[in-house]
Structure formats: C-alpha cells, structure tokens
A and B are shown apart, each in its own frame.
Chain A
Amino acid sequence: MDLRRLADLELPDSTGAPRRLGDFWAERPVILVFLRHFG
C-alpha cells in the first residue's frame, strides 16, 4: 500500500466528477472497498 500515491489520485465518481481520494479520509475514517465488479 502506497498511501501517499493513493491519496493523491483523482478518480471519477458515478456522475463523472473527479474526486481526490485523500480528501475522503482527511477528517474522518473511511472504509475503502475495492470491488471486483459493480453489483
């Protein structure tokens, strides 16, 4: 796990808006789940 690299990534959400991953856990804990598939 390269947390710094992961935190700096921007990925599109389900609306297409870019979201920086590190912003999610800056202030609160996040359960981050990698799914094999949607559904």
Chain B
Amino acid sequence: MRGRYDEITGRGAEVVAIGTGSVRHAAAFVADEHIHFPVLVDDDARAARAASVRRVGFFKLLTDRRSRAGAKRARADGHRIHKAGRRVTQLGATFVIGPGDQVRYEHLDDHSADHAPLDEVLAVLPTIAAD
C-alpha cells in the first residue's frame, strides 16, 4: 500500500489504517516506516466490531501453516512488528468506502497471512471516479 500511495492519492482516494495498540506505538510506526496517511488506534475494538473484522483462535493462529509461512515471508522481506497490541487474535481487513456512505469493496482476512490483493483494491477506484 505504501509503495503505491502516490497512485492512490492521484486517483482521488486516501488510505486510512487502523491498528491495535497505543498512540505511542502508532506514532513510532508512522515515524519509522515513513507513513504519509492517517494511522488510527482502535485499542478497545469498537471499530473492528463495527466493521465485523474476524478473529481467530489462539491455537489456530499458532498452528495454521498459512500463517506461519506468511510470517516467515514477512521476516525474510525485512518486516518487523512494532507492537501487536492487546488483540493478537484479531485478523486484518480491507475496505473501500465512499465517497459518502457506501462500501465499495470488502476483504475480511481469513488467516494472519491473508491480505486483500492490492490490484483488486485499486481496481475499484476508477469505477468510483466514473460514477
């Protein structure tokens, strides 16, 4: 997402990330990773619940081969976790919302290494511009 941020804003869209953890950890993430979009903190899971973001059992999180393989790839690519926050069993999700109150795209991660294909997400944006 970060690598294509200029393309996203060039299409008239914005990126907003929501994570678990504290404001301090969000600030460190923004500074260390040179993030240019808003990063918000949802430490009490109000937003995750409203968005119906999935959770996974702790045992499955540790034993799912897909999750372990994803973690290995992430480490090999140099990614590191600043702070997991209080809800390590919460999975990720990606939505395209707006303009206005309309959900254009939804991907609820199925396991910890599952992510919305970025090309699929970006493909929604020209459709919005043409509406």
B-contacting residues of A (Cβ < 8 Å)? 1-7, 9, 11-16, 19, 21-22, 24-39
Contact B79 A34 (CB under 8 A): no
Main secondary structure of the interface of B (DSSP, over half): mixed
Instruction: Please judge, given known A-B contacts A1-B95, A14-B30, A38-B39, whether A31 and B79 are in contact too, CB under 8 Å.
Output: no
Residues of B within 8 A of A (CB): 1, 8, 12-21, 23, 25-30, 32-33, 38-42, 46-48, 50-53, 79-85, 88, 90-101, 103-104, 106, 112, 121, 124-125, 128
- Chain A interface SS verdict (over half): mixed
Task: List 8 A–B pairs whose Cβ atoms lie within 8 Å, in order of A's numbering.
Answer: A1-B50, A2-B50, A9-B50, A14-B30, A33-B18, A35-B17, A36-B20, A39-B33
